[in-house]
Amino acid sequence: MDKPAYKIESSHRIIATLPRSPVYNGELLADRDLAVSLAAKCMTDPPGGLVRVIYVPTGEIVYSKTSEWGTPG
C-alpha cells in the first residue's frame, strides 16, 4: 500500500456529506482521486470555510473549494 501523501484540511470543522465516509480535518490518504472526491463532497461548520487537498511531500495545493450549504428547496 502506498504511503499517505494527500491531506484534506480546513480552518473550520469538516462535515462529511457522504454516508459512511467520515472525513476528518488533517485526514491523510494515499490516493489523490479519492482525496479530491471526498473533499469535494465536504462542507464546513460554519459555512464558507475553505476545504483543500494538499500534496504533503511538496505542500502543493491540488484542490481547493469554498464550502457552502445547499439552499432548501
Determine the pLDDT at residue 59.
96
Determine the pLDDT at residue 70.
57
Please state the domain extents for the chain: 6-66
Torsion of CA 17, 44, 56, 28, to 10 degrees: -40
Determine the pLDDT at residue 39.
92
Concatenated DSSP letters of 9-64: EESSEEEE-STT----TTEEES-HHHHHHHHHTEEEESTT-EEEEEETTTTEEEEE
Determine the pLDDT at residue 73.
40
Determine the pLDDT at residue 72.
45
Determine the pLDDT at residue 36.
95
Point out the residues of the chain with pLDDT beneath 50: 71-73
